[in-house]
Structure 1
Amino acid sequence: MTPLVVLAVLTAALTHAAWNAIAHGIKDQLLAFTLVGGGGALCALAMAPFAAVPHRGAWPFLAASVVIHLAYQYLLMRSFRLGEFGQVYPVARGVAPLAVTVLAAVFVSERPDAWQASGVAVASAGLGGVALWGLRGRRPNWPALAAAVGTGLTIAGYTVVDGVGVRDSGSSLGYITWLMLLQGMAIPLLAVIVRRGGLLAALRPVAARGLLGGALSTAAYGLVLWAQTRAPLAPVAALRETSIIAGAAIGTLVFKERFGRPRLLAAVVVVGGIALMLAG
């Protein structure tokens, strides 16, 4: 991975943690994801005049990605509704890197070299440490954890599908534009059906925050898709999940959750894993 790719993915990680924190901070999760999805769709509409239509070979991957993203959003909403941000966010993101490594090796024939494999393993261990520290001293919330693990598996699924699709699309901008257009309107349409006349009044107090979350979500995933056209999927996925560190920091500063020395040590382990990936 070149320095520019690394910078893009690290920026995406910080941006991703920020929009997830915004979504978690809106207590009504249907409203939160209505605004995030709608904000992403509005961004896609703004980008559409400047984006090429993806090549024909990318459309099956786009369709599959939309389905997986909708499952991801449902499970993420459920985990946010059931658990604390500092617990479910690290678990959801920490599951993904190793799963992506396996899926990319099986379906895309991307087998990491020794440096990359070691880096992914070390970074995943550090990410797991951040996640597991959130369980320290408390009884596990099994429904929330199950939803978070399911979220992580869907993350791995759409990462591999989109990694192949964006490479076949001919345009990373075109791919992210159509992906956000297609998936961004699903939850808003559901909200219109469920909430009916009361939807606009409920959205108004949180509209600015939620739409900002949608813009950040589009930027975060657009950067990741661009990086996937220039680097193997597994290292990009592992580097992206450093958003866990940003998420833990946001949990401390915004949601008043403890960070603590164990998380600091885990963060150092993550950095060591990244160094191994870059050494390869």
Structure 2
Amino acid sequence: MTPGIVLAVLAAALLHAGWNALIRGAGDKRLYTLLLHACSAAVGAVGLLFTGLPAPESWPYLALSAVIHSAYIMLLIKAYEGGQLATSYTLMRGLPPLIVGVLSGPLLGEALGREGAAGIALISCGVIGIGFASGLSLARIVTHPSTHAAVLNAVAIAAYTLVDGQGARLAGNPLAYVFCLSLLEPIGVLLVGLRSDPGALQRYFVSHWRLGFVGATAAMLAYATVLWAMTQAPIAMVAALRESSVIFAVLIGALWFKEGHLRRGMVAGTVVMAGVFLLRQ
């Protein structure tokens, strides 16, 4: 990958950690997540007026991705309920690159080469290592509901990464693909989330709409950048590089949420950066 693509994906990683931290810090994670999706749909609708629809060849991928993303969001809420940002985030972000790396060859015909495979392995090991440095344990993985949701979400993330990477390539415009996805994805999430109290989101929106649009904009910019990168470089390599966001998550978790373990986490972070160095060769 070229240095420009690497820097763009690293910037997306920072944005990704930021909007995940907003969910982690929200007083009501369910309502903030619903608000985030409502705001994303609004931004996406306006954005499509400027970009137009993506190419029809990408529409089946959009439909499948919307279903997978709905499951991802529900699992994301569960992963952060009673779970630390660093431990839940590292599980969700450390496992998908390995899954994508294994499947991208037979499914997409993308050969990684030695350095690419080694870079992906280092990033995944470093990300999961940060989780263990931040308090994750095998016992917690086995027994805690938040880590169960995080592991399941890792599978969902790997699935939508493969689907969206290919869909963005067929779309002709990755930004149009993201805008369209932002309209489709909230349908299932909002229908399920609003069944219990239809007026809850309206009341929450009135007092938190600014924070909702901040999170929605960050999430969409981050994902649009990643999908653009996937049209320029192998999907597995971009997916792994994106997970350098865990370094930013550890910093936010330690400095903002006072979750501790910063020094040990940054040691594991050097492993992640070694993997990043290999991917940019």
Pair in the same fold by TM > 0.5? yes
| 1:32 partnered with 2:39 | no
Deviation, structure 1 residue 232:
0.2
Q: Which residue of 2 aligns with 1:90?
A: 90
Structure 1 residues without counterparts, runs of 5 or longer: none
Distance 1:137 1:186 in 2: 33
Return the match for 2:227 from 210, 213, 225: 225
Cα contact 2:254–2:262 (8 A) shared by 1: no
Distance 1:254 1:93 in 2: 20
Distance 1:30 1:12 in 2: 24
Deviation, structure 1 residue 132:
1.7
| 1:48 partnered with 2:52 | no
Q: CA RMSD in A?
A: 1.7
Cα contact 2:61–2:167 (8 A) shared by 1: yes
The superposition leaves residues 46-97 of structure 1 with CA deviations (integer Å, 9 ceiling, x where unpaired) of 2111113222211111111001101110110111113121210111111111
Q: Between the two proteins, what is the percent identity of the paired residues?
A: 38
Q: Which residue of 1 aligns with 2:118?
A: 118
Deviation, structure 1 residue 210:
2.4
The superposition leaves residues 183-227 of structure 1 with CA deviations (integer Å, 9 ceiling, x where unpaired) of 134323434332123432234333322221111111110111111
Q: Which residue of 2 aligns with 1:149?
A: 151
Cα contact 1:10–1:240 (8 A) shared by 2: yes
Moved more, 72-81 or 131-140: 131-140
Distance 1:199 1:105 in 2: 43
Distance 1:137 1:180 in 2: 35
Q: Which residue of 1 aligns with 2:278?
A: 276
3-state SS of 2:197 partner: helix
Return the match for 1:266 from 264, 268, 276: 268
> Kindly tell me: are residues 198 and 167 of structure 1, through their superposed partners in 2, closer, same or farther at Cα, counting changes over 3 Å?
closer
Q: TM-score, normalised by structure 2?
A: 0.94
3-state SS of 1:213 partner: helix
Cα contact 1:19–1:213 (8 A) shared by 2: yes
Cα contact 1:32–1:210 (8 A) shared by 2: yes
The letter for the 2-side match of 1:238 is A
> Kindly tell me: are residues 26 and 260 of structure 1, through their superposed partners in 2, closer, same or farther at Cα, counting changes over 3 Å?
closer
Cα contact 2:93–2:243 (8 A) shared by 1: yes
Structure 2 residues without counterparts, runs of 5 or longer: none
Taking the TM superposition and a 5 Å limit, the aligned residue runs for 1:77-226 are 77-135=77-135, 140=140, 142-226=144-228
Cα contact 1:41–1:185 (8 A) shared by 2: no
Deviation, structure 1 residue 174:
1.5
3-state SS of 2:196 partner: helix
3-state SS of 2:97 partner: helix
Q: Which residue of 2 aligns with 1:14?
A: 14
> Kindly tell me: are residues 121 and 16 of structure 1, through their superposed partners in 2, closer, same or farther at Cα, counting changes over 3 Å?
same
Cα contact 1:36–1:215 (8 A) shared by 2: no
Distance 2:195 2:56 in 1: 33
Deviation, structure 1 residue 138:
10
Deviation, structure 1 residue 103:
1.9
The letter for the 2-side match of 1:128 is I
Cα contact 1:58–1:165 (8 A) shared by 2: yes
The letter for the 2-side match of 1:234 is A
The letter for the 2-side match of 1:156 is A
Deviation, structure 1 residue 149:
0.8
> Kindly tell me: are residues 136 and 180 of structure 1, through their superposed partners in 2, closer, same or farther at Cα, counting changes over 3 Å?
closer
| 1:74 partnered with 2:74 | yes
Deviation, structure 1 residue 169:
1.1
Q: How many residues align?
A: 279
Cα contact 2:62–2:164 (8 A) shared by 1: yes
